[in-house]
């Protein structure tokens, strides 16, 4: 088992980005082509010039591939090429002086051997750049992030791939046609780029977080403290929360029997499979768990569906048959509201979404079919749905798979209202009519994310479609994952979810001071913070000088903008003291930069 304290130390150490570093580091091997270049401050320079040249020869800078100016000590350059070696250098531009170059520094952008074989292609069929949200798409099926043209920007390195032969059956002209397939898939589900700029994903029943380079930052303990046995059986959904904690779905497969479980006079639970573990009798069940961990891997909150779906002998029959135990009430999605007060949990097999109050663990509301276990509070036509995504306005976005085995069905992206005034709780619906009858089943996967421009990004799961649609139901971007046929074998990838990110650097900043030294008589100086990320952010500024401490939070700084803050009224300074500066991001408090000013 990984030492939790060690992982936490690594996490914090990697997050502390101090002033005065050069990135990418000399000799770096990168798995992405959208690169943040960072360099040391040059005294008196107001503008920096960065040059990037392909190859390693000295003459390469005679015709640099990229030449970019920036007023900050960091600048992002995209569209570099995989499989190429580069060198870069920078200079601070000072009026009336010849540029003094620093560098060159060499780095390489490495290819992914599986992706390079192009066994599956993402084909973009529509790209209305004036109407869509732009940015990048995170696709778990290919463990990659691509731009709106389908071009690779980032991939998750050092992962295991599965390659298995199988068959798929399609109905063509009312005839069953079998195709030999080879599913070449990474063991990756629910890949996300977080608001903090880290990567989270599920892999081989592990929930973990890494940086852009693929270096492990955090891993869920998977120690069975919630399930009661070895392993938590993580599955389907894993998120880093806004408070820095992590939440993931798990399964409890064996439940300790309680005294009331033996009360057969009331027709109580009939568990066909019972076993003894350590002298106690357990019943085989499938109960979903939702687990929240802190940075150290401690369980800070959990919820078990077994208590919510407790057997009721008076429940109605389903299609004239009782549901037999072990109960299959499969959880496949969750989300958390902004205030971290409620968790929305999605059950696929009973076609329901429930709202759980974190403070009590009680289900306070529900949406779905009325057939199961007394029925949902709000009758909503969900069937075998995926996702349960709480939106900023309090509505719930769902991908309604509408899966009826053996029959054509049309999946839909829907939005459910929580407002009591909405008698029809589905207030928006977009039917995903695919282009051929054999493609109309969407059995596994799918999600709906709302984008910054109000549009919705919809992933249809195993039908391999991803599209962006406006609220007035105009599709402004669309792509499809298409398997390649080689030697009569169709190579497929299993698409589960797709997500949006504005860039590889949603959270990134640098800062500088206008003075490196001050005097006791005139200790004032200015701090200028540059938001180099692609999302709005605020920053916590802390200044310590002897017994003097000043701390405040900035206003919001938009992407690509900067703000300057005057610092004065510093008292009781002595010669050779230093003023320590510590600035952190509100989006990611672990992203901390430090510097200091000497006192003369």
* Residue of 349, 420, 355, 429 lying closest to 390 (CA atoms): 355
What is the value of pTM for the model shown? 0.89
Q: Which tokens go with 217?
A: 């930052």
Q: Report d(CA 412, CA 431) in Å as an integer.
A: 4
Predicted pLDDT at 374: 63
Q: Which tokens go with 446?
A: 């799918």
Give DSSP secondary structure letters for 444-481: S--EEEE-TTS-EEEE-GGG-EEEEE-TT--EEEEEEE
Predicted pLDDT at 541: 98
> What's the gap between Cα 487 and its chain centre?
36
Predicted pLDDT at 318: 39
Q: Report d(CA 111, CA 114) in Å as an integer.
A: 9
* Residue of 456, 388, 385, 393 lying closest to 422 (CA atoms): 393
Q: Which residue has the tokens 């009519």?
A: 433
Distances (CA, A) of 205 to 193, 202, 220, 243, 302: 19, 6, 10, 24, 18
Predicted pLDDT at 184: 59
Q: Running along the chain, 600 residues long, what does each successive block of 10 average in pLDDT?
A: 43 41 94 97 95 92 95 97 97 94 96 78 93 96 94 89 62 59 71 97 92 96 88 94 95 79 53 79 85 97 85 38 50 95 92 94 88 74 90 94 71 91 84 63 83 95 91 96 74 85 98 93 93 98 91 97 93 83 96 93
Question: Which bin fits 4, alpha (ψ -120 to 50), beta or left (φ > 0)?
Answer: alpha
Q: What angle do CA 416, 422, 424 make, to 5 degrees?
A: 65
Predicted pLDDT at 434: 64
Predicted pLDDT at 12: 39
Domains of the chain: 4-109 (2.60.40.10), 113-501 (2.120.10.30), 509-599 (2.60.40.10)
């Amino acid at each position: 088992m990984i030492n939790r304290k060690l992982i936490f130390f690594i996490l914090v150490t990697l997050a502390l980005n101090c002033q005065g570093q050069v990135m990418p580091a000399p000799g770096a091997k990168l798995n992405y082509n959208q690169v943040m270049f960072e360099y040391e401050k040059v005294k008196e320079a107001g503008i920096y010039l960065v040059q990037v040249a392909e190859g390693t020869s000295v003459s390469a800078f005679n015709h640099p591939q990229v030449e970019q100016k920036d007023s900050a000590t960091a600048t992002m350059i995209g569209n570099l090429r995989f499989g190429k070696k580069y060198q870069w250098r920078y200079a601070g531009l000072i009026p009336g002086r010849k540029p003094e170059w620093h560098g060159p520094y060499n780095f390489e952008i490495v290819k992914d051997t599986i992706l390079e074989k192009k066994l599956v292609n993402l084909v973009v069929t529509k790209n209305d750049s004036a109407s869509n949200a732009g940015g990048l798409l995170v696709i778990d099926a290919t463990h990659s992030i691509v731009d709106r043209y389908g071009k690779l920007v980032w991939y998750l390195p050092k992962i295991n791939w599965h390659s298995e032969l199988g068959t798929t059956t399609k109905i063509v002209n009312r005839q069953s046609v079998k195709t030999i397939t080879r599913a070449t898939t990474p063991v990756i589900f629910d890949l996300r780029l977080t608001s903090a700029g880290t990567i989270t994903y599920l892999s081989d029943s592990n929930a973990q977080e890494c940086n852009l380079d693929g270096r492990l930052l955090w891993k869920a303990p998977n120690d069975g403290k919630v399930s009661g046995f070895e392993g938590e059986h993580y599955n389907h959904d894993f998120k880093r929360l806004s408070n820095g904690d992590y939440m993931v779905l798990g399964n409890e497969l064996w439940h300790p029997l309680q005294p009331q479980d033996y009360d057969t006079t009331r027709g109580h639970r009939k568990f066909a499979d019972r076993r003894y573990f350590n002298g106690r009798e357990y019943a085989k069940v499938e109960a979903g768990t939702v687990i929240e961990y802190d940075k150290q891997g401690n369980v800070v909150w959990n919820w078990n569906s077994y208590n919510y779906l407790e057997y009721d002998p008076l429940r109605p029959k389903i299609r004239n048959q009782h549901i037999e135990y072990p109960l299959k009430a499969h959880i496949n999605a969750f989300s958390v509201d902004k205030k971290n007060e409620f968790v929305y949990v999605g059950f696929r097999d009973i076609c329901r979404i429930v709202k759980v109050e974190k403070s009590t663990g009680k289900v306070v509301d529900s949406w779905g079919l009325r057939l199961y276990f007394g029925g949902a509070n709000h009758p909503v036509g969900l069937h075998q749905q995926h996702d349960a995504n709480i939106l900023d306005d309090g509505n719930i976005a769902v991908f309604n798979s509408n899966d009826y085995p053996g029959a054509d069905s049309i999946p839909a992206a829907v939005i459910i209202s929580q407002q009591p005034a909405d008698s029809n709780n589905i207030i928006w619906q977009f039917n995903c009519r695919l282009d051929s009858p054999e493609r109309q089943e969407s059995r596994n996967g799918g999600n709906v994310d709302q984008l910054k421009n109000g549009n919705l990004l919809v992933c249809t799961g195993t039908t391999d479609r991803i599209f962006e649609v406006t609220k007035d139901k105009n599709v402004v971007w669309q792509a499809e994952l298409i398997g390649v046929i080689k030697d009569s074998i169709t190579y497929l990838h299993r698409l589960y979810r797709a997500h949006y990110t504005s860039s590889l650097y949603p959270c990134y900043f640098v800062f500088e001071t206008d003075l490196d030294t001050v005097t006791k008589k005139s200790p004032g100086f200015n701090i200028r913070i540059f938001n180099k990320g692609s999302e709005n952010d605020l920053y916590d500024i802390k200044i310590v000088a002897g017994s003097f401490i000043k701390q405040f939070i900035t206003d919001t700084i938009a992407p690509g903008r900067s703000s300057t803050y005057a610092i004065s009224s510093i008292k009781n300074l002595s010669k050779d003291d230093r003023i320590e500066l510590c600035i952190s991001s509100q989006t990611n408090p672990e992203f901390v930069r430090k510097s200091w000013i000497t006192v003369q």
